[in-house]
Amino acid sequence: MAVKSSIEWTDSTWNAIRGCTPVSPGCKNCYASSVAKRFSGPGLPYEGLVRINAAGERTDDWNGTIKFVEKHLLDPLKWKTPKRIFVNSMSDLFHENVSDEVRDKIFAVMALCPQHTFQILTKRPQAMLNYVLLAEERVREIVAFYSDTWGAHKQAEALGGKWISPQRDSMGRVELEGYFDCIEFKWPMSHVMLGASAENQKYYDERIEDLRIIHDAKWTTFLSLEPLLGPINVEYSPSYYPDGPPMCCNGTDCGCRGLPVEPPMVYAADWVIVGGESGHDARPMQSSWASDIQRACARWNIPYFFKQQGMWVDAGHEEFGKLPAGRMAYYDSQGNIVPKCDPRLADENADVTTMKWVGRKRAGKTLYGKRYHEFPA
């Protein structure tokens, strides 16, 4: 049976590998590693995947070991109803300890399941890029070799297709591998979405170029800006464009209306997901960061999905009404904490936002009162 997911932008999760290592600040409160800690005792699914501390206790830190869970490899072949499937919610498929052999098998299973939409998300888009540039022939061979053994014929029949037997020449040599007439091997696969995750401008700037090359290679791509820990200029990052977007002229000389002459960086993605962090150690996301990204996506016609505000809200914003007494914290517009002794707190014009902890339910799933649940076409 498919594992139903509580993540709003997907239907089910599929975990044929387990384990990871933190790679950037967005990993600090990794949800997957806290689940792994709970189930890491002897004989449990995550045994051997989390770090043991000096006192011999299991922690919620991954130890870098990756486990291939072969019994789950073929799960999507058994799911007849078309679904959005989040691939590896408990790992990162492009972690350095995942072998290409395992990745090839996972891609081969996806190739055999054209009825689903697969969503692969990584914080290591460079490894994802290197993989998709080189893996096509290997995956094609696995599809041809294993599809019958894996029982893909049942799947193909359920999809209305039939198995075409291998063709042989007069010497009995295989001229053409057997194949399912409803499953056409394509690379890029149109039902597989490749995504990169970034939490602030620094990691956006580092990861977006790899995603752009993947997008230019005609894969469907997405960006997950979650947990959002700082503002991100998704169009023309200041480190790439210190003088702002490159303009053609003043907008009237040539009749260009003042549009930039280069496409925005966010064109690397066909879909953008934004969300604040949840959990007991969650860090705040200022609503203005999420709404700046929403406006940028609207300007360039990129579907935008706002997942959740997190645990904290901007204390002064009317959307949240009168807030109960509770934990407060002060942040500047870049997401840096402003300590209580900072003189900026006494200056009403200072660039300081008061954030209040209200919990996930109260913080909600709307952005300034509006729900954004857009999906790519």
- Alpha-carbon torsion 15, 16, 18, 20, what sign? negative
Question: Burial level of 49, CB count in 10 A (0-12/13-18/19+)?
Answer: buried
User: Residue 170: enclosing H or E segment and its boundaries?
Assistant: none
Stretch that binds ligand SF4, among 15-23, 39-47, 219-227, 285-293 (CB under 6 A): 15-23
* Tokens linked to 147: 């599809």
Number of residues that this document lists for the chain: 377
SS3 content of the chain, % helix, strand, coil (to 5): 25, 20, 55
Contact between 32 and ligand SF4 per CB under 6 A = yes
Q: Which is nearer to ligand SF4, 20 or 268 (CB)?
A: 20
Contact between 2 and ligand SF4 per CB under 6 A = no
Q: How far apart are CA 142 and CA 212, in angstroms?
A: 28
Q: How far apart are CA 311 and CA 290, in angstroms?
A: 14
Contact between 37 and ligand SF4 per CB under 6 A = no
Least distance to ligand SF4, CB of residue 33, Å: 6
Contact between 109 and ligand SF4 per CB under 6 A = no
List the interface residues with ligand SF4, window 289-318 (CB under 6 A): none
Q: Which is nearer to ligand SF4, 21 or 237 (CB)?
A: 21
Q: Is 172 left (phi over 0), alpha (psi -120 to 50) or beta?
A: left
**CB–CB of 101/132 below 8 Å?**
no
Q: Which is nearer to ligand SF4, 38 or 168 (CB)?
A: 38
Beta strands in 110-208 (DSSP E): 117-122, 163-164, 167-168, 174-176, 179-180, 192-197
List the interface residues with ligand SF4, window 51-70 (CB under 6 A): 62
End-to-end C-alpha distance for the chain, whole angstroms = 27
Q: Which is nearer to ligand SF4, 75 or 92 (CB)?
A: 92
**CB–CB of 58/40 below 8 Å?**
yes
Q: Which is nearer to ligand SF4, 23 or 217 (CB)?
A: 23
Contact between 22 and ligand SF4 per CB under 6 A = yes
Contact between 23 and ligand SF4 per CB under 6 A = yes
On the question of a cis peptide bond just before residue 188, with omega within 30 degrees of 0, the verdict is: yes
Q: Which is nearer to ligand SF4, 86 or 118 (CB)?
A: 86
Contact between 357 and ligand SF4 per CB under 6 A = no
Q: Which is nearer to ligand SF4, 227 or 264 (CB)?
A: 227
Least distance to ligand SF4, CB of residue 30, Å: 3
Q: Which is nearer to ligand SF4, 142 or 228 (CB)?
A: 228
Least distance to ligand SF4, CB of residue 29, Å: 9
Stretch that binds ligand SF4, among 23-31, 239-247, 275-283, 317-325 (CB under 6 A): 23-31
Stretch that binds ligand SF4, among 16-24, 139-147, 274-282, 340-348 (CB under 6 A): 16-24
Contact between 7 and ligand SF4 per CB under 6 A = no
List the interface residues with ligand SF4, window 81-100 (CB under 6 A): 92
Question: Binding ligand SF4 by CB under 6 A: which of 17, 20, 106, 272?
Answer: 20
Q: How far apart are CA 252 and CA 63, in angstroms?
A: 58
Q: At what angle do helices 201-216 and 125-134 cross, to 10 degrees?
A: 10
Q: How far apart are CA 337 and CA 285, in angstroms?
A: 12
Q: 263: helix, coil or strand?
A: coil
Would you tell me which residues interact with ligand SF4 (CB under 6 A)?
20, 22-23, 27, 30, 32-33, 62, 92, 123
